[in-house]
């Protein structure tokens, strides 16, 4: 790809004219042709993301959200979400609202993931437009394509959870902020849009979008004008816009349900960040795993991001070109997400997702520098290193990938996963070979094509792998077995872990309210403090009813490893379903109508 140089003089009259932080004057940035190209790209991406959305059941991380949306849709209560008939105020309602609306269109099935597909397509558009303003129209279009082919983004586009809404919110907010701070005459409406986008994201996942967007914006504002630069954000206006978006629902729920405000503001945010939230219904991952997952999610494009590091550090000088300051913004965005969540022991693997658009834009800037010749031989040497890294990954996967999976339980019991190792290895090897050829010929277009030819097969393989692990991560197979092999109306009891919300998949796929077996030592959220007794069935009562022959099904706690039914329930019992630590047992004899 050949792209124009974009380190240009500041535009007169721009608020940051002294710092040179202005939109690129690259031709076609606002042309109809570029808009059409971006919209076509987003439409193609959406179609690709939506292929066989129902190929796998909702996973544990999705199913409780789908069930809360199902109960909202069926019950008509759009103010206070419920899960398995229990008040569920752990999350703001935007995802529930959108999913309930989608259920009206698609029916009660996995096609509700269209919410995420649409959000992902809109993120591709916002990323492309931001890339056009930071670098050039061509770079923006390529950035949209890079994001749409990134493994982690493709998987999240097919997953029903609020994180994709956070990614969209942060990207749109940063785009609106860039408009506001490069167009003084129209700054107010753009700032209103900026805060409205943040508010929408906060209605999906609390304070997270605010942190994701304000870290990079704050870095650039302070760099350009010192701490007084933050006044350009007009926090008073922001408070009014955010209040208009956030207060109606939060106040309505707080007035109806005592204990919600403390749980939502303190328990779900502050104490969660410190890993002291009660109940202890999530367990953070190791820091190395968190960073490793981000690296895997951004393959192969993450290998190009270091090409822009020197340019971003050069932006410390106030006379740096606006392209350098764009790279500083994006590095601050990406590292801001990773560093903030690295500081909390409660970090989960998907918390790095809001950094994906920044990584895609930085990778695109790296490719652009190949085309405009601004970095010289040093960049091409790095591309040679990239090719060698890809070659090494391909060789290791081809030589040891299958044997490693065969030794990893319970993945070893999913044969299709091992069959995907070879095509993934071939994708890396083919991409590495083509990158080496591009390096030898100094062909920027060849490098773009090589990386894309490696990225697209990896995204397809990742989707295939996601579908293959359904028995490991979804209640759908177990629920079908229970419904097929027990009399209608048999009570289903779930041996719930402290994260009792995982019952959502059972409730969704059985269409019934599930009885929760008492959780030892469970401390409910403050808004449920008076309902603990009504939430759970005491264990001694369950055992009495089981022995008395009352028709019951017991679904075991998947976090507890037991090898025999006698370790789970009193005899007699019959196995309806088993997958490793998932058991479905009944006291109903075989053949009983």
- Is 241 part of a structural domain of the chain? yes
Within a domain: 24:
no
Q: Tell me which of 347, 369, 391 is where a domain ends.
A: 369
> Considering its fold, how many domains does the chain have in total?
3
> What is the per-residue pLDDT for 281?
67
In a domain, 16, yes or no: no
Q: Do the Cβ atoms of 303 and 146 come closer than 8 Å?
A: no
Judgement on whether residues 348 and 397 belong to the same structural domain of the protein: no
> Considering the domain boundaries, does residue 12 fall inside one?
no
Same domain, 422 and 345: no
User: Residue 422, class by beta-carbon neighbours within 10 Å (0-12 exposed, 13-18 middle, 19+ buried)?
Assistant: middle
pLDDT in the model for residue 320: 67
Instruction: Give a yes or no: residue 13 inside a domain.
Output: no
Rounded to 10 deg, the angle between the 208-225 and 322-342 helix axes is 140
Residue 411 has what pLDDT?
A: 77
Q: What sign for the dihedral angle of Cα 587, 591, 592, 593?
A: positive
Cβ neighbours of 398 (radius 10 Å): 16
Structure tokens at 509: 């796929």
Question: Which residues span the domain enclosing 365?
Answer: 32-369
User: What tens-digit pLDDT sequence spans the chain (593 residues)?
Assistant: 333 333 333 333 333 333 333 334 343 345 777 889 999 999 999 999 999 999 999 999 999 999 999 999 999 999 999 999 999 998 999 999 999 999 999 999 999 999 999 999 999 999 999 999 999 999 999 999 999 999 999 999 999 999 999 999 999 999 999 999 888 888 999 999 999 999 999 999 999 999 999 999 999 998 888 888 888 899 999 999 999 999 999 999 999 998 888 888 888 877 777 777 767 667 788 999 999 999 999 988 998 999 899 889 888 766 667 788 899 999 999 999 999 999 988 888 899 999 999 999 999 999 888 877 665 677 888 889 989 999 999 999 988 888 887 777 777 778 888 889 999 999 999 999 999 999 888 888 888 899 898 899 999 999 999 899 888 889 999 999 999 999 888 999 999 888 889 999 999 999 999 999 998 888 888 888 877 778 899 999 999 999 998 999 999 998 888 889 999 999 889 999 998 888 999 998 876 55
Residue that is written with structure tokens 């050829």 in the block: 437
What is residue 59's DSSP assignment? B
Same domain flag for 276 and 320: yes
Per-residue tokens: 96: 């529930």
Same domain, 512 and 499: yes
Instruction: Confirm whether 467 is domain-assigned.
Output: yes
Question: For residue 576, what is the enclosing H or E element?
Answer: strand 574-579
Residues 134 and 244 in one domain: yes
Both 70 and 156 in one domain: the answer is yes
Same domain, 119 and 73: yes
Length of the chain: 593
* Whether residues 423 and 361 fall in one domain: no
Based on the fold, state whether residues 327 and 360 are members of the same structural domain: yes
Two structure tokens written together for 215: 């870290």
pLDDT of the residue at 404: 82
Same domain, 133 and 272: yes
Residue ending a domain, choose from 471, 492, 511: 471
200 and 56 together in one domain: yes
Cα dist from 246 to 96, 161, 559, whole Å: 16, 20, 36
Q: What tokens does 499 get? A: 């994260």
Q: Has residue 591 been placed in a domain?
A: no
Indicate the residue among 344, 369, 394 that finishes a domain: 369
SS3 for 350-372 is: HHHHHHHHHHHHHHHHHHHHHHH
In a domain, 181, yes or no: yes
What secondary structure does DSSP assign to 125-140, as a single string? HHHHHHHHHHT-HHHH
Residues 155 and 114 in one domain: yes
Predicted structure pTM score? 0.90
């Amino acid at each position: 790809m050949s792209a124009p140089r974009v380190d240009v003089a500041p535009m007169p009259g721009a608020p940051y004219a002294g710092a040179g932080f202005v939109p690129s004057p690259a031709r076609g940035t606002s042309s109809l042709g570029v808009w059409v190209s971006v919209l076509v790209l987003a439409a193609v991406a959406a179609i690709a993301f939506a292929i066989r959305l129902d190929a796998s059941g909702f996973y544990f991380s999705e199913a409780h959200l789908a069930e809360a949306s199902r109960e909202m849709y069926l019950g008509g209560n759009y103010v206070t979400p419920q899960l398995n008939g229990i008040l569920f105020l752990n999350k703001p309602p935007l995802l529930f609202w959108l999913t309930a609306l989608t259920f009206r269109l698609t029916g009660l099935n996995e096609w509700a993931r269209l919410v995420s597909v649409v959000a992902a397509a809109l993120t591709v558009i916002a990323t492309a437009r931001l890339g056009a303003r930071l670098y050039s129209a061509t770079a923006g279009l390529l950035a949209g394509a890079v994001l749409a082919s990134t493994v982690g983004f493709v998987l999240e586009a097919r997953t029903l959870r609020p994180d994709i809404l956070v990614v969209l919110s942060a990207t749109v907010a940063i785009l609106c902020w860039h408009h506001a701070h490069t167009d003084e005459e129209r700054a107010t409406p753009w700032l209103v849009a900026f805060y409205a986008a943040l508010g929408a994201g906060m209605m999906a996942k609390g304070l997270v979008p605010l942190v994701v967007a304000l870290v990079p914006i704050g870095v650039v504002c302070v760099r350009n004008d010192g701490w007084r630069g933050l006044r350009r954000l007009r926090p008073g206006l922001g408070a009014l816009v955010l209040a208009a978006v956030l207060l109606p629902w939060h106040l309505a729920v707080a007035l109806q349900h005592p204990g919600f405000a403390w749980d939502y503001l303190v328990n779900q945010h502050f104490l969660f960040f410190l890993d002291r939230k009660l109940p202890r219904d999530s367990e953070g991952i190791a820091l190395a795993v968190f960073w490793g997952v981000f690296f895997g999610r951004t393959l192969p494009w993450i290998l190009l991001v270091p090409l822009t590091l020197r340019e971003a550090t050069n932006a410390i000088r106030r006379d740096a070109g606006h392209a350098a300051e764009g790279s500083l913004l994006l590095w601050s965005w990406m590292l801001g997400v990773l560093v903030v969540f690295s500081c909390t022991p409660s970090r989960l693997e998907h918390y790095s997702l809001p950094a994906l658009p920044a990584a895609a834009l930085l990778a695109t800037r790296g490719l652009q520098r190949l085309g405009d010749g601004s970095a010289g031989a040093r960049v091409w040497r790095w591309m040679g290193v990239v090719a060698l890294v890809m070659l090494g990954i391909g060789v290791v996967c081809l030589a040891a990938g299958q044997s490693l999976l065969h030794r990893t339980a319970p993945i070893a019991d999913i044969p299709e996963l091992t069959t995907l190792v070879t095509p993934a290895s071939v994708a890396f090897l083919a991409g590495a070979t083509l990158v080496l050829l591009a390096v030898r010929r100094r062909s920027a277009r060849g490098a773009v094509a090589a990386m894309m030819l490696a990225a697209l097969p990896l995204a397809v393989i990742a989707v295939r792998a996601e579908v293959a692990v359904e028995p490991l991560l979804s209640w759908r197979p177990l629920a079908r077995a229970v419904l097929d092999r027990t009399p209608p109306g048999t009570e289903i009891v779930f041996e719930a872990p402290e994260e009792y919300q995982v019952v959502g998949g059972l409730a969704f796929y059985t269409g019934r309210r599930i009885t929760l077996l008492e959780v030892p030592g469970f401390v409910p959220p403050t808004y449920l403090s008076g309902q603990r007794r009504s939430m759970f069935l005491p264990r001694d009562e369950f055992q009495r009813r089981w022995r008395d022959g009352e028709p019951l099904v017991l679904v075991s706690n998947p976090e507890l490893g037991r090898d025999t039914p006698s370790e789970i329930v009193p005899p007699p019992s019959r196995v309806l379903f088993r997958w490793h630590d998932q058991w479905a047992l009944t006291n109903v004899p075989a053949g009983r109508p």
